[in-house]
Amino acid sequence: METERILQQMTVEEKAALVSGTNFMYTNPIPRLSIQSLRMSDGPHGLRLQKEGGDNGVSESEPATSFPTAATTASGWNPENARKMGEAIGRECRYYGVHTLLGPGVNIKRNPLCGRNFEYFSEDPYLAGVMGAAEVNGVQSTGVGVSVKHFALNNSENYRFMGNSIASEKTMREIYLKQFEYIVKHAHPATIMCAYNQVNGTFCSEHKWLLTDVLRKEWGYDGVVMTDWGAMHDRVASLKAGLDLEMPGDTAICRRWILDGVKDGTLPMEDLDKACRNILNWVGKTVKPADPKPVDWDAHHALAAEIAADCAVLLKNDGVLPLSGTEKLHVAGELFENMRYQGAGSSMIRPTKVTTPKDAFDAHGVKTYALEESDTVLVFAGLTDEYESEGCDRENMRMPESHLRLIDSLSESGKKVVVILFGGSPFELPFCDKVDAILNMYLPGQNGGAAVYDLLFGVKNPSGKLAETWPMRYEDVPSHETFGKGINEIYAEGTEVGYRYYSKHNVPVRFPFGFGLSYTTFAHSEWTKNGNVYTHTIENTGDRFGGEVAQLFVDGVLKGFEKIYLNPGESKTVSITVEDEPETEYADTYTVPEPQASFPVTVESRFTDLNQSFMGRILYNAVLSVVKKQMKQAQKLPEGPERDNAIKGAYFMKRIMDSNSPRSLSMCAGNRMPYNFAQGFAELTNGHLIKGIRCFMKKIDVPKLPKEEQNA
């Protein structure tokens, strides 16, 4: 076998390099053995390809199609949307020479305040698994690999670099691992990315039960497991646990730990060889040259609108929609011209072009009026960029006050009011009873404006269904008192997540899981059961073509679904086979550790903890000065998408720095901040001046990388 032949020829130094990344987004090549380098790129709802020679920020990237985010796509309840999107993204990856896309993200939406919920599919593991598998199959059909993330229990952002997710095995098995299991078994992803956080006191990067016992032995996974960027802690422990690839790599300390571990026997060679074998198999299957064939960017732009229109959710309609075209429309709200179409963070794409609602209205010659002349008002509102982002959780579940005041004032005008919402997760809707219609676009991608026009004017019929519950108020959420408040994140609600909780305890909600209106009407038969097969008939009883979703719940839990499209008077019978699951009783207990003191600080402390001492504040501000400089440069740019993305990138970096740890920062920054610097930060903050200086002066000796040897 080629892999075994190569493995036998590798030196320990070459093996230590192979299991480490390089240049932020690449695997290490081994030129002596003709082992090529793989290139990775952020995803998951489009390609965020860092420009060569860039600063690894989130704004300097190549143009690519910004598709609807997972929060949007899941609301379509149509896996074909995810598959087609994945295939298009894979095509763009091939064009740019990217071998593996970092996505999709499939973590469960445990709490609506999670800042990264826009990047995740659902509160339900079955729906998340089906949609995630479809995207994986779409991407990998083009020869490009994926990295399904973040494994596992990464459900909040405030303390994600050091947080400890505390949950029972029953909770993990039934809610937080199930979607990963489905994707592994139905889509065979090339790689899986481990999360930053701890699970019951052990970091995911060195969690043998997660990475080996469950993922590999139980589920049969045979691909690569890599870290999230900077998620490495103990390199020897991680290899023993089943973690193959450390990213972004270029950390001298990790190679030193490997070489010393092999030398003194604390790292068995067989554990290092397992990781190398997985990476060699991945490289052998994945390496393909860039495809010079031009991408049909216009077709992908159109696909983004097609998906957005199929996934938008009509939450309320008192007969005002669809618009006939004869209304005298007044348009209000900043998101009409400055549509929010994607989230902020590592998934932020530089779009090939953007079509806002205003662009679409102008293209169709839609005339608008100042307010007193109108009979119908369209308000474009929702969550703006500063309200939700990777790197931090939202502070509350409210919309911006300025948006609420605008809607309130317009609802008192006596006009018909239609609210078009944008945002990546649920928020409170205190105006719901005061307006005539609400159309939820979520984050619809770069061509969301075209989808908005088609839906408002009846060119297309809304058919999306909520993939998450919209509570009345945040206080109704089961984890509202403790979520995101500290390092120990206790999953006290167990399996009662989302609709499972609201249904069991009869808690009123604003809009339930699976809800969505249409411009037509449907009649549903009762479900009938024959063995494991359930059948259900749906008839379009209205006068418009439309889509409807058959949703099968067994004992209150979603077990299957199918979306169908029907002409007026047409009916269809849906058959869903429920897979047998072994009846296993899992422990439903967990142990809550004692709260950790924030001082003295360690390399694992939250970066903001440095502010507890005079020297720590100096170090903190020195690092943050880089981010402040980035913000000033962004604000100097001319108005337009480039400036908007640069500002969003600066905000993101500030959030990341605050929630980071010195250890994670060193594991992500490579040569710019070696591990001994992280140790020095901790010592200086704690007042140990001499120890801190010694740490900074310490040198970590490692051999040259194989690529450097080749160059020499």
The residues carrying an active-site annotation are: 228
Bond before 403 cis per omega within 30 degrees: no
Is the CB of residue 254 less than 8 Å from the CB of residue 702? no
Q: How many C-beta atoms surround the C-beta of residue 567 within 10 A?
A: 11
Sign of CA dihedral 479, 483, 486, 491: positive
User: Tokens standing for 548?
Assistant: 């409807």
User: Tokens standing for 646?
Assistant: 């640069």
Sign of CA dihedral 690, 693, 697, 700: positive
Question: Cα–Cα–Cα angle for 125, 130, 134, nearest 5°?
Answer: 145
User: Tokens standing for 309?
Assistant: 């229109």
User: E-assigned strands of 555-625?
Assistant: 557-566, 571-577
Residue 670, helix vs strand vs coil: helix
What residues form DSSP beta bridges with 193?
226
Residue 71, helix vs strand vs coil: helix
What residues form DSSP beta bridges with 191?
147, 224
Q: Could you write out the three-class secondary structure of 377-400?
A: EEEEEECCHHHCECCECCCCCCCC
User: Tokens standing for 627?
Assistant: 């981010």
Cα–Cα distance, 609 to 586 (Å, whole number)? 38
What residues form DSSP beta bridges with 368?
329
Q: Could you write out the three-class secondary structure of 119-139?
A: HCCCCCHHHHHHHHHHHHHHH
Sign of CA dihedral 508, 511, 514, 517: positive
Q: What is the dihedral of CA 477, 479, 485, 486, to 10 degrees?
A: -160
Is the CB of residue 333 less than 8 Å from the CB of residue 406? yes
Q: Could you write out the three-class secondary structure of 402-461?
A: HHHHHHHHHHCCCCEEEEEEECCCCCCCCCHHHCCEEEECCCCCCCHHHHHHHHHCCCCC
The DSSP code sequence of 317-372 is ESS--S--S-S-EEEESGGGTS---S-SSTT--EES----HHHHHHHTT--B--GG
Is the CB of residue 195 less than 8 Å from the CB of residue 228? yes
Residue with tokens 């800042």: 115
Is the CB of residue 177 less than 8 Å from the CB of residue 645? no
Is the CB of residue 562 less than 8 Å from the CB of residue 524? no
Local structure of residue 210 (DSSP, 8 states): I
Cα–Cα distance, 81 to 76 (Å, whole number)? 8
